Amino acid sequence: MRKTTIALALLPLLHSPALLAEVQINGFASIVAGSSLDDDEPLYGYDKDIDFNEHTKFAVQVAADLGQGLKATAQVLARGSEDYSAEFEWAYLSYDISDNLMLMAGRQRFNLYKYSDYIDVGYAYHWIQPPQGVYSLPFSSGEGVGLLYTTQWGDTDVGVTYKYITSSIDDYVPSGTDVQPAPFSAKAHVLNLNFTTGDFEYGLNLGYAPEVTYLNPDLALLALAWAQTGLFDESTLNDFLAIDDAVSLVGVHGKYDPGNWFILAEYTTSDYQDANAFTNQDSIYVSAGIRWNQLTFHLTYGQDENKPQYDSYNAMAPVIAGLPAQNQAQLLPLLALTKQALETQQQDSNYYTVGLRWDFHPSAAFKVEYTDFTNDKGPTADGQALMMGVDLVF
């Protein structure tokens, strides 16, 4: 009886206009098929057989305006590459402190690239997927707080964003590798400066992650083998792995789009402090396109360089060289295996992508792309891939 009385008392409140939120539901999807054109060499997750899962995804976004500047936003995304297991990409509250300043708290994006906020929304850009060298960092979403400041300087719209976000992935696999999944975590400060002057967009992204941890399975086994020799301290062995390591991130981008054509460029660089589990990376692409009625013809050229870190190997080699000949003979194979494991991370590649986008519907676009990839260093082989698909929003 008491529960019924309480429920009846709350019923008018639940229907009170003050408690009703304006809720908007949107969504997007990408249905993509792809295949490598080389029988023996996979590329971008595709082999010679046509695959519909690697870049296919579905998402639903719910935004609730609670009034007086308070909003709640959530986005659930299911990827074909993850067996369509639905996960929250966004789940945050935002509050308008003033007309120019907004506070955000909860699960949100790391703003590390030009297309960070809508990287999963294929309909928002001309490619099927943005260039994977530039868009390759493991942390894209996480939990934290952020501030967004917007203003206008003359004819220029200005946006400044600061975020502190933590990210944790149970089964991380570095892009372009086939190592066993392993835990990854990061805590990062990200600052974005974005400007729009007429048809010209440009910006600068700065990131610093003071704590990055990733136990690369292959390097972890090497660290364990070296630990059993008793020759090296914990600090040297930890250089094999990323354990509370630090990384600095810089990205710049610019786009000119007068309507009938566009040109876009983006450059990113990452610099890890000590961890041999990651390479320092420099990536750049230039993309241009021409629009004619509902068609967009585009061409992209990019370069990626992954530079391994040899701190652990350089510390070990002189020690092994100073041992008696018999001991050297026992440990030199392990030292060679260590160098080989680090060198397999290197890459010096370039690629070009030719594509077509057809906006056959106000909310949908058909796309087809051909990519030719060449690599001069490391185990990743040259290859070609063909992809086609439909992006839609609703």
Residues 251/205, Cβ–Cβ less than 8 Å: yes
- pLDDT confidence of residue 128: 97
- pLDDT confidence of residue 133: 86
Residues 6 or more apart whose Cβ sits within 8 Å of residue 259: 199, 291
Residues 6 or more apart whose Cβ sits within 8 Å of residue 392: 28, 29, 30, 123, 361, 363, 364, 365
Residues 388/369, Cβ–Cβ less than 8 Å: yes
Condensed to tens digits (0 to 9), the pLDDT of residues 29-54 reads: 999 999 999 877 888 889 889 999 99
Cα separation, 111 vs 128, whole angstroms:
20
- pLDDT confidence of residue 183: 85
Smallest Cα–Cα separation from 202: which of 124, 99, 114, 101?
Answer: 114
Collapse the DSSP code of 113 into the 3-class scheme (helix H, G, I; strand E, B; otherwise coil) and give the result.
coil
Q: What is the arithmetic mean of pLDDT over 212-241?
A: 83
- pLDDT confidence of residue 277: 73
Residues 274/257, Cβ–Cβ less than 8 Å: no
- pLDDT confidence of residue 315: 85
Condensed to tens digits (0 to 9), the pLDDT of residues 255-308 reads: 999 999 999 999 999 998 876 777 889 999 999 999 999 999 999 999 999 998
Q: Which two structure tokens, joined as six digits, stand for 178?
A: 């086939």
pTM: 0.87
Residues 173/181, Cβ–Cβ less than 8 Å: yes
Q: Kindly write down the DSSP assignment for every residue of 173-187, as one continuous string.
A: --TT--PPPEEEEEE
- pLDDT confidence of residue 10: 37
Residues 6 or more apart whose Cβ sits within 8 Å of residue 77: 57, 58, 59, 86, 87, 88, 89, 120
The answer on pLDDT for 147 being more than 60 is yes
With a pLDDT cut of 70, the percent of the chain lying above it is 93
- pLDDT confidence of residue 11: 41
- pLDDT confidence of residue 109: 87
Residues 357/287, Cβ–Cβ less than 8 Å: no
Residues 367/391, Cβ–Cβ less than 8 Å: yes
Condensed to tens digits (0 to 9), the pLDDT of residues 91-105 reads: 999 999 999 999 999
